[in-house]
Amino acid sequence: MCSSFKCFYFHLLPIFYFLIIIAATTTEFKFLDSAKSPEVFDWMVNIRRKIHENPELGYQEFETSEVIRAELDKLGISYKHPIAETGVIGYIGTRKPPFVALRADMDALALQEMVDWEHKSKVPGKMHACGHDAHVAMLLGAAMILKQNENEIKGTVILVFQPAEEGGAGAKKIVESGVLENVNAIFGLHITGKFLIGEVASRSGLMYANSGFFEAMISGKGGHAAIPQHSIDPILAASNVIVSLQHLISREADPLDSQVVTVGKVEGGSAFNIIPDAVTIGGTFRAFSKEGFKQLQQRIEQVIIGQAIVHRCNATVDFLQEEKPFYPATINNGDLHKHFLDIVTKSLGIQKFNEMRPSMGAEDFSFYQDVIPGYYFVLGMQNASHERLAGAHSPYYKVNEDALPLGAALHASLASTYLLKLQQDIPLVEGKYHDEL
């Protein structure tokens, strides 16, 4: 027989859980309606276009960061800056645990924009060709919505405006700064023309591969092409190196552990009839497993040096880890996947979810997932009745701005309902967390 207090408590539990479910469901619709309102939608569009006109490369996002901070100031949202050189970390809620983070990358690419429109890039040779301008606008949109409902946030939402996703490993520097200590989960998204607007795609577990870069200098002895016996030909050596690197995939890699080695850069020689002194090659290598990735790195170096020796050349190999750190695999947390599906079901309908296949692409969101449970998904923006949108990293890349409210609402819903579930499922242990950020 239970005490009267215990009986009362256990009778209340089903009602408490039911109220949480009702509140969460109502929240999703409320956030989506707010994001679609002219006040929020037009504001996001204006921010996105302002950033698009003034693209900045990794760790140079000074004006972008200034735009973000100005908008956070207007919203009354506190923040830390600079983090990782140009990054901005905002806070909404109690400033106390539990903590959940939302991430938007903000760097552009070294491309000349070929789309002629009113808000075309004003900076020659630089362009937002991967949608990071839209990512920033959507996270700011989520910030506005969450700030308007701050009294309902059961913890703290951390806004991560991150520099240098495009090869600069900005996420790694954010992690190393310590600003995400004690964060319970982190969510990130990327817009894409591969799916229709209103659709999302992701998966539980492995999503993107481990990734790294390499560069090699193969040195020989230059001379006249008519008397090759007096030279040591680095071009011939480099050619055999490139072919041999492909044998690592076809003859050494486990067929069930997908791996890639691609040589994308070859530099050497300047005339038809001269054998150069040296050739430089460079490329990328990727693997799903950590073991496969490490083995591939070792063998790339061995093959390049070994093949150079066979052809009487010398070689040096640089994996460029200071400039371009190795990216871990992007692996989505299983529990967060269930949470994501729940939000999508309530806000968009489960028919709008697409199961993604793992890809050999890479994403520096993985640095967060190495230390925090994380979840990454893509948001469709293709309009079925319009022209097919160009892929990312194209000078013809365009963003369908109708996707902005969906991204903002998903951000806000994922964060707020996750904090609500944490309050329900995980009682906070006294002393386990810092009192404040």
Q: Residue 27 has what pLDDT?
A: 63
Known binding residues for Mn(2+) are 130, 132, 166, 190, 393
Residues 6+ apart with CB under 8 A from 292: 210, 253, 254, 257, 259
For residues 334 and 373, what is the distance between their CA atoms, to the nearest angstrom?
Answer: 9
Q: Residue 359 has what pLDDT?
A: 96
- Could you tell me what percent of the chain has a pLDDT over 70? 90
Give pLDDT tens digits for 359-385. 999 999 999 999 999 999 999 999 988
Residue 18 has pLDDT above 80, yes or no: no
For residues 367 and 83, what is the distance between their CA atoms, to the nearest angstrom?
Answer: 16
Equal fold, 17-207+329-424 vs 210-318: no
Give pLDDT tens digits for 298-346. 999 999 999 999 999 999 999 999 889 999 999 999 999 999 999 999 9
Closest CA to 413 of 25, 62, 82, 13: 25
For residues 367 and 376, what is the distance between their CA atoms, to the nearest angstrom?
Answer: 12
H or E element that contains 291: helix 290-310
Residue 24 has pLDDT above 70, yes or no: no
Q: Residue 8 has what pLDDT?
A: 45
Residue 433 has pLDDT above 50, yes or no: no
Q: Residue 364 has what pLDDT?
A: 96
Known binding residues are 130, 132, 166, 190, 393
Strands (E), 198-242: 200-202, 205-208, 210-219, 223-224
Strand 374-382 versus strand 185-196 pairing type: parallel
Give pLDDT tens digits for 214-258. 999 999 999 999 999 999 999 999 999 999 999 999 999 999 999
Closest CA to 315 of 214, 404, 194, 398: 214
Q: Positive or negative, the Cα torsion across 426, 432, 434, 437?
A: negative
Residues 6+ apart with CB under 8 A from 338: none
Question: pLDDT category, 437, cuts 50, 70, 90?
Answer: low
Give pLDDT tens digits for 37-81. 999 999 999 999 999 999 999 999 999 999 999 999 999 999 999
Give pLDDT tens digits for 250-282. 999 999 999 999 999 999 999 999 999 999 999
Closest CA to 307 of 274, 284, 275, 281: 281
For residues 65 and 81, what is the distance between their CA atoms, to the nearest angstrom?
Answer: 9
Mean pLDDT of 408-435: 76
What are the helix (H) ranges across 311-393?
A: 334-347, 366-369
Q: Residue 423 has what pLDDT?
A: 81
Question: pLDDT category, 426, cuts 50, 70, 90?
Answer: low
Strand partners of residue 103: 160, 188
Instruction: Out of 1.10.357.10, 3.30.460.10, 3.30.70.360, 3.40.50.720, select the CATH number for domain 210-318.
Output: 3.30.70.360
CATH architecture of the domain with range 17-207+329-424: 3-Layer(aba) Sandwich (3.40)
For residues 199 and 44, what is the distance between their CA atoms, to the nearest angstrom?
Answer: 20
Q: Please count the other Cβ atoms lying within 10 Å of the Cβ belonging to residue 122.
A: 11
Q: Residue 105 has what pLDDT?
A: 98
Mean pLDDT of 149-165: 97
CB 411 within 8 A of CB 40: no
Q: How far apart are the first and last CA of the chain?
A: 45
For residues 428 and 156, what is the distance between their CA atoms, to the nearest angstrom?
Answer: 14
Mean pLDDT of the chain: 92
Closest CA to 412 of 140, 49, 207, 6: 140
Domain boundaries, the chain: 17-207+329-424, 210-318
Residue type for position 97? P
Q: Residue 401 has what pLDDT?
A: 98
Reported residue count of the chain is 437
Residue 133 has pLDDT above 90, yes or no: yes
Q: Residue 26 has what pLDDT?
A: 59
As a whole number of Å, the CA-based R_g of the chain is 25
Could you tell me the two tokens for 245? 């690197």
Q: Residue 49 has what pLDDT?
A: 98
Residue 1 has pLDDT above 50, yes or no: no
Could you tell me the two tokens for 272? 């038809």
For residues 220 and 275, what is the distance between their CA atoms, to the nearest angstrom?
Answer: 9
Q: Please count the other Cβ atoms lying within 10 Å of the Cβ belonging to residue 9.
A: 12
For residues 190 and 104, what is the distance between their CA atoms, to the nearest angstrom?
Answer: 9
Could you tell me the two tokens for 93? 């809620």
Give pLDDT tens digits for 163-196. 999 989 999 999 999 999 999 999 999 999 999 9
The phi-psi region of residue 301 (left if phi > 0; otherwise alpha if psi is between -120 and 50; otherwise beta) is alpha
